[in-house]
Structure 1
């Protein structure tokens, strides 16, 4: 409701500045001020809940960062190995097998254990 009220107020202020262009569009806002009563309290409760969720999850952040960095560094090593491998080789790269088709890397898939 606030964006609608703000839009109506914008048009009214524009009508004061440029009446020839905006006066015909100026109209009273259909949302009465009484409908916005209590909006500040609702907004504060929303902000309190958001801050509470952040406080609950904050201690888990170092574990998440460590996991993401480990995953990223592993994938980066694999990517560099694939980039440096020759076009007709079938190598095992960091636990992955590189399959080659038509001179390009067609797929890099997890290596299967022997016997399967």
Structure 2
């Protein structure tokens, strides 16, 4: 779990060291370091909300299961989105191209026949 949290924090603004944040979550900081982290969290509302959410999980196994379920749901959603996008591609539907070409040929032939008939009637 610790590695997962470090990976989540890898894209942070680097104002604070990732290990310092991990120690804060686990309660391993000295009073001065803990105070410094809390000051930073006071200025960064998004990080403070995320940290509050993590701290609400009393059972770390429950947190790990929640993260796993979120990842599964995200993968499922992205797979469905990819499948819908692939369905919309025309390359997999050759009959669509054949129908379009056939209709265009009919329109051109009809136009030429009408033009030929109108010239003969003069």
Tell me if both proteins adopt one fold, taking TM over 0.5 as the criterion.
Answer: no
Higher helix share: 2
Higher strand share: 1
Provide the TM-score with structure 1 as the length reference.
Answer: 0.28
Provide the TM-score with structure 2 as the length reference.
Answer: 0.27
